[in-house]
């Protein structure tokens, strides 16, 4: 939230163009993402790159933040939920999440973060994690808790419940894509998987069908 706003005006338009160039290079995995290639693609000098972003890692970190600041989908309003609204919201979350992790951008950034995490300096990995797995968690948890408050869901541990939802939605998709598996992720496929995951989630955590107390409405 504050994070996203900060990232949005943290750089000038010209600098954002540079970050977009980095993203382009990352996504088209063909050629290596060298500082020279970045400067060429962005029509700027390497010296400017280093002046603005410090070093290559700083540039990559800025790119992660920049992409993250763009991705935030609007939060879902979780007041006066009924069962079908909750189901729709969960399904929308699942669709959104599957779409994100299937995107070439997400795959490329996760690969960069993982490579860095393997090289000791794990700050990029933590950043990807914060803007991926943990960001979606913080956005989904209020919805889960609203569902519980309205008697639609039954669970004790919000974190554990979210992790189960995460597993039901993601399954093996992310690791397969990261490892280069060709996995057709069409929109229709994603919608079907999101619906299945949501249904399974309700089977596990849906509250038993009791007459829910008409709280507040006289």
Partner DNA sequence: TCCGAACCGTACCGTACGGTACAGAATTCG
Partner DNA sequence: CGAATTCTGTACCGTACGGTACGGTTCGGA
User: By the criterion CB under 7 A, which residues form the site for DNA?
Assistant: 14, 32-36, 39, 43-48, 50-51, 55-57
CB contact at 8 A, 99 and 34:
no
Using the rule CB under 8 A, give the single segment among 5-13, 119-127, 148-156, 209-217 that binds a second copy.
Answer: 119-127
Any contact of residue 128 with a second copy (CB under 8 A)?
yes
Binder of residue 63, out of DNA, a second copy, none (CB less than 5 to 8 A by kind): none
Per-residue H/E/C for 39-67:
HHHHCCCHHHHHHHHCCHHHHHHHHHHHH
Which residue among 97, 113, 144, 190 contacts a second copy (CB under 8 A)? 113
Q: 30 vs 74, which CB is nearer to a second copy?
A: 30
Looking from the CA of 144 toward its CB, the CA atoms found within 13 Å total 24
* Whole-number Cα distances in Å, 33 to 21, 74, 200, 212: 10, 32, 41, 56
Lookup: tokens for 97: 């999440």
Q: How far is the CB of 36 from DNA (least distance, A)?
A: 6
Which residues, in sequence order, are bridge partners of residue 153? 206
Any contact of residue 175 with a second copy (CB under 8 A)?
yes
Instruction: Please report, as ranges, the residues that interact with a second copy according to CB under 8 A.
Output: 29-30, 32, 108, 110-120, 122, 125-126, 128-129, 132-133, 163-164, 166-172, 174-176, 178-181, 200, 203-204
């Amino acid at each position: 939230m504050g994070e996203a706003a900060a990232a949005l005006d943290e750089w000038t338009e010209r600098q954002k163009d540079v970050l977009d160039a980095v993203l382009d290079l990352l996504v088209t995995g063909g050629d290596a993402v060298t500082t020279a290639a970045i400067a060429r693609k962005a029509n700027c000098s390497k010296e400017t790159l280093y002046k603005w972003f410090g070093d290559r890692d700083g540039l990559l970190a800025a790119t992660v933040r920049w992409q993250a600041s763009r991705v935030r989908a609007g939060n879902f309003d979780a007041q006066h939920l009924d069962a079908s609204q909750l189901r729709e919201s969960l399904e929308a979350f699942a669709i959104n999440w599957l779409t994100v992790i299937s995107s070439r951008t997400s795959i490329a950034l996760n690969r960069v973060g993982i490579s860095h995490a393997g090289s000791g300096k794990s700050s990029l990995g933590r950043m990807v994690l914060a803007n991926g797995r943990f960001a979606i968690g913080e956005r989904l948890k209020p919805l889960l808790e609203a569902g519980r408050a309205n008697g639609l869901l039954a669970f004790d541990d919000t974190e554990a419940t979210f992790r189960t939802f995460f597993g039901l939605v993601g399954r093996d998709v992310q690791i397969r894509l990261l490892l280069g598996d060709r996995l057709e992720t069409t929109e229709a496929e994603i919608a079907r998987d999101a619906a299945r995951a949501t249904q399974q989630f309700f089977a596990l955590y849906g509250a038993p069908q009791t007459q829910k107390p008409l709280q507040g409405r006289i």
